[in-house]
């Protein structure tokens, strides 16, 4: 395999630099020396999830203002409060079961769980007495930190360890974008018109090399979605979506799976004009496209194939309960009235004014289609009535031909 001349690593002034965690670099170099070039999915899995030094299994929490990126729950608690309103509606439709379990894969710092529980209290929701929140984290120490944080906030009796089947909801906020992906490229000279981009080690540096696909599942996924990459077009394919739905939703007997992430339908995600793919790295709130910088010390993500998510959810017995943008989702759940109520409250102190301004700034980002408002929200139900539409999916913006979800 030859080094791909269009994907050589080049210095990028102004960005954090360095090879990354020496343990991961050595480990990956040893694997490549033993097995030859590895798929990017394998490289990404080690960089993010290595038990000893992976990005999500070591070091401080990442989605914070002091970390590498900021998610909606970390931006402001209002997002979690609105998610809790959606869960309350689901709870009502299911006949108010007790307990009502909310399982959160990738609970991170616990910001979403805390905001949901606090939001139920602020809204006076009866669900607060029935809810059992189950945070899930790949790093046990981070999971323990989430439990400690929520216990300190007074929610200890509502926290449970994940176990067995349940009625309730699975809430996955920015989880699927961090699943390892294969990188492929359109190549009419190869059988099937597809090459896979592997990771090799040359001159003490990781490089990209092209070769035949490691599995026919890559071409099969693209064929299922009627996607044909043009010559030289680079794209990412996540084959782990099926495994994620199998492991994360199998225990849900009745209820909702709520997925919030950045992504596009396949027809948009794999359009020819997106010729370089969507793989990105985040470090210190700087986004760039070099996955071989700071190995284990920067986040790696790719936009989610929303068409694949919908199809795979269906194969796992989940029916579409609704979908739209995050802006539409929060608007339907009452973001506007919450902001109006905050504005009407007299500011008795500088802190009151600061809290209102923080809320107003968060609302702007949650509604901005170029920021968090452009994220996709998909809801999938199991034995859950979706007519009339759930509140988060009942409010739609005017049709836009460039919208993420048709």
Asked if residue 199 lies in contact with residue 220, where contact means CB atoms within 8 angstroms, the answer is: no
Judge whether 32 lies within some domain.
yes
Judge whether 256 lies within some domain.
no
Judge whether 383 lies within some domain.
yes
Quick one: which of 148, 144, 143 has its CA closest to 104? 143
Instruction: Indicate if the pLDDT at residue 9 is higher than 60.
Output: no
Q: What's residue 7's pLDDT? A: 47
pLDDT tens-digit map of 262-273: 999 999 999 999
**Co-location of 189 and 45 in the same domain:** yes
pLDDT tens-digit map of 316-336: 999 999 999 999 999 999 999
Judge whether 311 lies within some domain.
no
**Co-location of 211 and 299 in the same domain:** yes
Judge whether 375 lies within some domain.
yes
In 182-326, beta strands by DSSP E = 182-186, 194-202, 205-211, 234-237, 252-261, 263-264, 280-283, 286-288, 299-301, 304-305, 319-325
Residue 64 binned pLDDT confidence (cut-offs 50, 70, 90): very low
**Co-location of 33 and 95 in the same domain:** no
User: What's the domain range around 197?
Assistant: 5-63+178-243+265-304
**Co-location of 44 and 193 in the same domain:** yes
The CATH number of whichever domain residue 162 belongs to comes to 3.40.50.12710
**Co-location of 339 and 200 in the same domain:** no
Q: How many domains would you assign to the chain? A: 2
**Co-location of 184 and 300 in the same domain:** yes
**Co-location of 189 and 167 in the same domain:** no
Q: What's residue 59's pLDDT? A: 67
Judge whether 254 lies within some domain.
no
Choose the final residue of a domain: 251, 280, 304.
304
Instruction: Indicate if the pLDDT at residue 198 is higher than 90.
Output: yes
**Co-location of 156 and 270 in the same domain:** no
**Co-location of 215 and 134 in the same domain:** no
Cα separation of 227 and 233, whole Å?
A: 12
Q: What's residue 403's pLDDT? A: 40
Q: What's residue 398's pLDDT? A: 55
**Co-location of 220 and 285 in the same domain:** yes
pLDDT tens-digit map of 328-385: 999 999 999 999 998 888 767 888 788 899 999 999 999 999 999 999 999 999 999 9
Judge whether 399 lies within some domain.
no
**Co-location of 299 and 184 in the same domain:** yes
Cα separation of 127 and 120, whole Å?
A: 7
Q: What's residue 141's pLDDT? A: 86
Residue 139 binned pLDDT confidence (cut-offs 50, 70, 90): confident
Q: What's residue 391's pLDDT? A: 97
Residue 20 binned pLDDT confidence (cut-offs 50, 70, 90): confident
Quick one: which of 302, 345, 342, 330 has its CA closest to 391? 330
Lowest mean pLDDT among 12-21, 133-142, 237-246: 12-21
Judge whether 202 lies within some domain.
yes
Instruction: Indicate if the pLDDT at residue 216 is higher than 90.
Output: yes
Quick one: which of 85, 87, 244 has its CA closest to 167? 87
Strands 304-305 and 194-202, bridge-based pairing: unpaired
**Co-location of 110 and 168 in the same domain:** yes
* Mean pLDDT across 169-175: 97
**pTM for the full predicted model:** 0.91
């Amino acid at each position: 395999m030859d080094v791909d001349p269009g994907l050589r690593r080049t210095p990028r002034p102004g960005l954090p630099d360095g090879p990354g965690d020496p343990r991961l670099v050595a480990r990956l170099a040893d694997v490549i020396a033993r097995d030859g070039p590895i798929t990017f999915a394998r490289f990404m899995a080690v960089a993010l999830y290595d038990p000893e030094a992976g990005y999500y299994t070591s070091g401080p929490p990442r989605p914070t203002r002091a970390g590498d990126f900021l998610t909606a729950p970390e931006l402001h608690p209002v997002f979690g409060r609105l998610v809790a309103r959606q869960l309350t509606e689901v709870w009502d439709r299911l006949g108010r079961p007790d307990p009502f379990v909310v399982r959160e894969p990738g609970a991170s710092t616990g910001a979403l769980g805390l905001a949901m529980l606090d939001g139920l209290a602020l809204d006076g929701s009866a669900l607060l007495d029935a809810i059992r929140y189950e945070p899930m984290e790949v790093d046990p120490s981070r999971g323990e930190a989430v439990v400690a944080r929520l216990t300190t906030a007074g929610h200890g009796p509502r926290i449970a360890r994940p176990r067995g089947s349940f009625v309730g909801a699975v809430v996955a906020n920015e989880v699927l974008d961090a699943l390892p992906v294969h990188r492929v490229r359109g190549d009419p000279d190869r059988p099937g018109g597809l090459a896979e981009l592997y990771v090799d080690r040359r001159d003490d540096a990781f490089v990209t090399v092209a070769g035949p696909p490691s599995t026919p599942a890559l071409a099969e996924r693209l064929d299922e979605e009627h996607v044909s990459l043009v010559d030289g077009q680079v794209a990412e394919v996540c084959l782990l979506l099926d495994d994620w739905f199998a492991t994360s939703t199998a225990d849900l007997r009745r209820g909702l799976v709520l997925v919030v992430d950045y992504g596009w339908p396949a027809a948009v995600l794999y359009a020819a004009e997106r010729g370089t793919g969507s793989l990105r790295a985040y470090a210190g709130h700087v986004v760039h496209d070099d996955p071989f910088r700071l190995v284990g010390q920067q986040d790696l993500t790719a936009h989610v194939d929303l068409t694949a998510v919908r199809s795979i959810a269906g194969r796992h017995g989940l029916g579409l309960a609704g979908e739209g943008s995050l802006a539409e989702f929060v608007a339907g759940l009452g973001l506007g009235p919450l902001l109006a109520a905050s504005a009407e409250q007299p500011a008795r102190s500088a802190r009151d004014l600061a809290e209102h301004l923080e809320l107003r700034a968060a609302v702007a980002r949650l509604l901005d289609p170029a920021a968090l408002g452009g994220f996709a929200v998909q809801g999938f139900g199991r034995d859950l009535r979706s007519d009339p539409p759930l509140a988060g999916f009942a409010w739609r913006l005017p049709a836009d031909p460039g919208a993420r979800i048709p």
